[in-house]
Structure 1
Amino acid sequence: MDKFKAFTNTVGSSITPFAARSQQWIKEQTGNAGEKTDLPHDYVELETRIEALKNTHQKLLAATAQYASESYDYPANLRESFQDLGKSIGEKVNLLSKAGSAAEAQAAITAPPSAKPQPKTFNHAIARASLSGSQTIAMATPQGSTEPDPLSQGLEKIAIAEEKVGEARLEQDEKIQGKFLAGWSATLNQNIKSADKARTAVQNARLSLDAAKGKAAAGGRHEESYTEDQRKSIEAAEDAFVEKVDEATSIMRNVLDTPEPLRNLVELLRAQQEFHQRAADILEEVGSNVMELQQQQEAEYRKARDQ
């Protein structure tokens, strides 16, 4: 260990500032450095708050990044064919309404897909399954039946509604990407990164200062025996250290004081609220329509049994 100390002290007389900081850092890690210069208490508190802010941004981004992926709620066990993902529910329902026979209805269901595949969301998947079921039941209904099958009708209504909910979800995701994720990421990758850069500059200035102090104190010399050049070197390092601390303090305060993160959170909540309200309205309307079909079928069922 004594040989290591002698080596670092000898090399320290002619090394670059970067090398001096590196050497000081190694000394501190190996327990061979002298007293470290303390950072101001207020500065340390700001660093703690910046770390908390960074951690919060990283965790929430990890949780909300799924809004940038269309299929985040798409069932993993579902297997839909290229044909299933062809035309939208609205297009298929329109084609089915014009079909005059079972063959034409089947042709409408299997019509060539649109240029863009349909979205792979949970609601779109429910819509496609519902419309497929509706058509399967309708085609199985005996020819010549005067009344359409109520279950087939209900499934078609649900298909149309679920597609609307799916589209509303995609609109929500787009808003969240533009008004929350973009801003939240910018704070992490620009503002907080800028604060981290300023903190690194403080750390480097502190290492340079302690390296200068350590070099002057080599061999057990006291401050009174420092040379003029050594005193000037320490004073210059102290000035640089204070300057970097002041700069980093200002930057960290600005990052912590900006209301931008709360603005972003408001946009996240607004997009979610708008989607859920829209979804609730759509489902309430279709729920009433399907309930009417159910009540009509139950009334006819009871009437038939009473006869």
Structure 2
Amino acid sequence: MGKADEITPFPQEYVELESKMEKYKSAYEGMCKVAQKFIYSNNYEPAIQESVMNVVSKVNESITKRNSVSTGDKNSDRTLHMMMATTTMQCGEMLPENEIFGEALKNYAFALEKVSSARDEMDDQIALKFLAPFMNTLDGTFQIAAKARKAAQKARLELDTVKSRLRQSSNDKIEMLSQELKLAEEQFNLNVEDAILHMKAVTENPDLLKQLNDMIEAQLNFFKKSYEALNALII
């Protein structure tokens, strides 16, 4: 194929969406990274590029394990709050029975267990309702849009090549190349429209605000339950 002498411009809408989509991609990736760091900072350090299935699988595994462990099981220190609760309870039990400070430590330990449970619930909700959907969009909608953009770029290259051949052709090939040009233009327009459609699916996702709201609500519930548990101890 001959080298094209000029580059056919993409429509302004396409150009603007392309730039907008890249910014959305950076925002998605940034939120996925910080969400993973946030919800797992209390437990373990996951790979930043964990798949959606791994995230959901670990959340389900976490819930199953918690449901199978009795409330008083001191070996279930899965979180920092629970570890602190266990240690605090042990310290309280070291003191003589009915000692005021010892009883205060035990009550504090019970409150920390409630905080730990609330933290687990928050992490699970963020993972399932925010992180998993965001990662699914990155692995799905963004990838589809990226492929559509590549198809549009390929169609533009083929169109420019036909244009170049037509300019350099002899008279006996003009009719044939003109027909090729028409087909190439049609294909280019179709691919551009398809890419625009898929890029809009990324930038106009109606679920974005709901997913962000779900994360905010999960945090709000955690802080509310933590406040209630700890505030009850204040004399």
TM range (shorter): 0.7 to 0.9
Match of 1:91 in 2: 72
Query: Cα offset for 1:75?
Result: 10
Say which structure, 1 or 2, has more relative contact order (CA 8 Å, 6+ apart). Answer: 2
Matched length? 213
CA distance in 2, matches of 1:135, 1:253: 61
- Residue number among 132, 137, 157 corresponding to 2:107 in the alignment: 157
Q: How does 1:23-34 map to 2 (within 5 A)?
A: 33-34=4-5
Deviations 1:208-227 (A, max 9, x none): 1112223334xxx3797852
Deviations 1:66-96 (A, max 9, x none): 3563xx23599xxxxxxxxxxx89526xxxx
What's the TM-score once normalised by structure 2's chain length?
0.81
- Residue number among 21, 27, 33 corresponding to 1:56 in the alignment: 27
Q: Which runs of 5 or more residues in structure 1 are unaligned?
A: 1-11, 14-23, 25-32, 77-87, 93-112, 142-146, 292-307
What's the TM-score once normalised by structure 1's chain length?
0.63
Change (3 A) 1:135 1:223: farther
CA distance in 2, matches of 1:182, 1:73: 18
Deviations 1:278-299 (A, max 9, x none): 110001012x2xx3xxxxxxxx
Match of 2:88 in 1: 130
Q: Is the 8 A contact 1:134 1:155 kept in 2?
A: yes
Match of 1:303 in 2: none
Deviations 1:217-273 (A, max 9, x none): 4xxx37978522221112211110011111112222233223211110010001110
- Give the counterpart letter for 2:158 in structure 1: S
CA distance in 1, matches of 2:134, 2:83: 31
The higher radius of gyration belongs to 1
Change (3 A) 1:177 1:40: same
**Equivalent position SS for 1:236:** helix
- Residue number among 6, 13, 19 corresponding to 1:42 in the alignment: 13
* Identity rate, percent: 27
Q: How does 1:7-18 map to 2 (within 5 A)?
A: 12=1
- Give the counterpart letter for 2:81 in structure 1: N
- Give the counterpart letter for 1:37 in structure 2: T
